[in-house]
Structure 1
Amino acid sequence: MQQRPGRRSRVPRAVLAAAAGLGVIAGLTLRTARHAGVLDPGTPDPELAVSLRLVCAAAVLAAGTLTYLTLVRNRDEPLAMACLPGLVVTGVVLRHLVVTLPHVARFQPSARIAPGAGAWVLLVSGVAMTVTGLAAAFAVRRAG
């Protein structure tokens, strides 16, 4: 039984996109910020906001759907679009890391707020989805 050309590389990319989606789900359940001290009353919680978590969850749903379509249709075109949800997750987490956390000194410098494990898992998963989608896009372009 011979395998069609391109089939070999399609499944690992789809598996990587699915694993990255599971990584985002895992990252959404973990804390995205940790602080040793107690914040002053009325200080905004440094955790990733619920609305941003919902955006990440919607991106995972989109990436999962695209992965499923890739496997069902035996074509890389749907998976190529997985870079878009990956960019969404990466952008949300970078916003959380770059915009929110550096301004912690105005809340309470002694709190020592740092990115939590969830933020790093989300960032790695978003980058993995983006890279997977781009690899599939280059495969489609090369084949076409």
Structure 2
Amino acid sequence: MAGNRVLAWAGAIAAVGGGVGLALPTAHYLPSHLPLGGTEPDLDLGLRLACAGALALAFALAILTLRRRQAEPLAFTALTGIAVAGILLRYLVITLPGANRLAPSADVQPAAGAWVLLTAGLVLAATGLIAAANAQRGR
């Protein structure tokens, strides 16, 4: 019972932290070195909205877990965490090296927002998996 509360608080804090990460820049770069008309290497609006929706759902599931005192709702934060971590891993692995290929002098590097979001996604995935194991054990 107390373990579920700790997990729920961890999930809620990770979701809020991920929200803060959305407000931070996700890439360090020099705009003057990017080609004209090229895409900005920061995480685009559509992916930010997808992450925001997943983090809001994770926060709601954590609050629901705290109210019901059951681990089942929190188990679904694994899915939201996987979604956020997947978006960020794709961004870090594919987008940034692609930007360097287009403009090698731009020297694009991940900024704080990318690492905060990736960490939040991984924490939410781990929290959900632990909650699922707790729910399975409790049956």
Scaled by the length of structure 2, the TM-score of the pair is: 0.96
Q: Following TM superposition, by how much is the alpha carbon of 1:97 offset from its aligned partner in structure 2, in angstroms?
A: 0.4
The residue type paired with residue 113 of structure 1 is: V
Gaps of at least 5 residues in structure 2 are: none
1:17-57 Cα distance to aligned partner (Å, 9 max, x none): 00110111011000001114621211110000100000000
1:13 corresponds to which residue? 7
Larger fraction in helix? 2
Q: In 1, distance between residues paired with 2:73 and 2:124?
A: 13
When the two structures are superposed, what TM-score results if normalisation uses the length of structure 1?
Answer: 0.92
Find out whether 1:108 has 2:103 as its counterpart: yes
Mapped to 1, the partners of 2:125 and 2:8 lie a distance apart of 12
Aligned match of 1:25 = 19
Q: 2:33 aligns with which of 18, 38, 48?
A: 38
Q: How does 1:10-89 map to 2 (within 5 A)?
A: 10-36=4-30, 38-89=33-84
SS state at 1:21 partner: helix
Segments of 5+ residues of structure 1 without an aligned counterpart are 1-6
Per-residue Cα deviation, 1:91-136 (whole angstroms, up to 9, x for no partner)? 1101110111111233210110011110000000000000000000
Between the aligned residues of both structures, percent identity stands at 43
- 1:56-106, Cα deviation, whole Å (9 max, x unpaired): 000011101111111111100000111011011001101110111111233
Structure 1 segments (4+ residues) deviating >4 Å: none
- For 2:97 and 2:52, the matched residues in 1 are separated by 25
User: 1:123 maps to which residue?
Assistant: 118
Q: Distance in 1 between matches of 2:83 and 2:130?
A: 17
